[in-house]
Amino acid sequence: DIHWLKNGKKITPDIRYKTLEEDNTFTLLIIETVPEDSAQYECVAINSAGEARCEAECLVQAPSSRAPAKAPPKSPGDQAPTVIQPLSDQTMKEGQPVLFKCKISGKPVPQVKWLKGDQPIKPSKYFQMGKEGDVYTLRISEVFPEDEGVYKCVATSPGGQVILSGALSVLAPDSQELAPTLARMADVTVPEGSPAQFRTQISGKPTPNVQWFREGALIPQSPDFQMITEGNNVLLLIASTYEEDSGTFTCKATNSAGQAQVSAKLIVKSKN
């Protein structure tokens, strides 16, 4: 497990702090640094054998003060921004890109900025803003649970201002496929003419396909040999046994992630 610390306190990923892993290289990315981000940062790696740490200092210098920009004076003919296409809510799986898009016209062309909640978003590797004609876009290259929230496009001109909003919901990724597993199966001994039953427990994702074999030969479903699945239990029911049924029975489970098999012996005792 990898943890990142700021002045000894664990960092929780959010819209400004991103943690990345690629080819065993681990990265902490701070988007839009502020002086308060100046601190000692540590990367801590922990496994069953112990832990390792490395650290570095980050120093953020405050920008030189500037006089606030004044809004351009309003001229005759200036029009407030007009919304042609609003933002839409988005639902995306974790790790996938997402695109917010809106269409706004105005005279003069409005100045546009993007926010998450009330926090301005600046261009970065993860947040890319675009403009083509009257169409404005915000692209997030990979979404994570901490990116959930309301995104706003604020368009301002001397004629007025409009604010568009769209919500982002992030879905958990699909669970990984799991190869089948089968529990150990017990040998069975019965007197000739009696029924017999083999039972095992199965797991796997997607749901495995189950087949039964006797001495390597596939057993077809029939009134004499019934294959049953009850939850994670799989059974082979033999209605009536004969000496020639003695042998090794195998349950084989297969799915797209792999296969597993388990075997047990059937011993049929003669009545004589």
Return the pLDDT at 174: 62
Asked whether residue 64 is assigned to any structural domain, the reply reads no
Indicate the number of domains in the chain.
Answer: 3
Q: Are 31 and 70 in contact, with CB atoms under 8 Å apart?
A: no
pTM above 0.75, yes or no: no
Return the pLDDT at 33: 80
Query: 């011993």: which residue's tokens?
Result: 267
Q: Are 175 and 257 in contact, with CB atoms under 8 Å apart?
A: no
Same domain membership, residue 187 and residue 155:
no
Same domain membership, residue 256 and residue 196:
yes
Angle at 239 between CA 233 and CA 242, to 5 degrees: 120
CATH code, domain with 213: 2.60.40.10
Asked whether residue 107 is assigned to any structural domain, the reply reads yes
68 Cβ partners below 8 Å, 6+ apart? none
Same domain membership, residue 183 and residue 265:
yes
SS3 for 48-115 is: CCEEEEEEEEECCCCCCCCCCCCCCCCCCCCEEEEEEECCCCEEEECCCCEEEEEEEEEECCCEEEEE
Same domain membership, residue 131 and residue 190:
no
Asked whether residue 63 is assigned to any structural domain, the reply reads no
pLDDT in tens, the chain (272 residues): 888 999 988 888 877 788 877 767 788 888 778 888 888 889 988 887 778 888 888 888 776 554 444 545 666 667 789 999 999 999 988 888 999 999 999 888 999 999 998 899 988 888 999 999 999 999 999 888 889 999 999 999 988 899 999 999 988 766 677 889 999 999 999 999 999 999 999 999 888 999 999 999 999 989 899 999 888 999 999 999 999 999 999 999 998 888 999 999 999 998 76
Query: 């100045």: which residue's tokens?
Result: 111
Domain enclosing residue 11, as ranges: 2-58
Same domain membership, residue 152 and residue 195:
no
Asked whether residue 236 is assigned to any structural domain, the reply reads yes
Asked whether residue 37 is assigned to any structural domain, the reply reads yes
Closest CA to 248 of 230, 226, 268, 233: 268
Residue 91 CA, chain-centre distance (Å), reads 13
Same domain membership, residue 217 and residue 156:
no
Which one-letter amino acid corresponds to residue 30? I
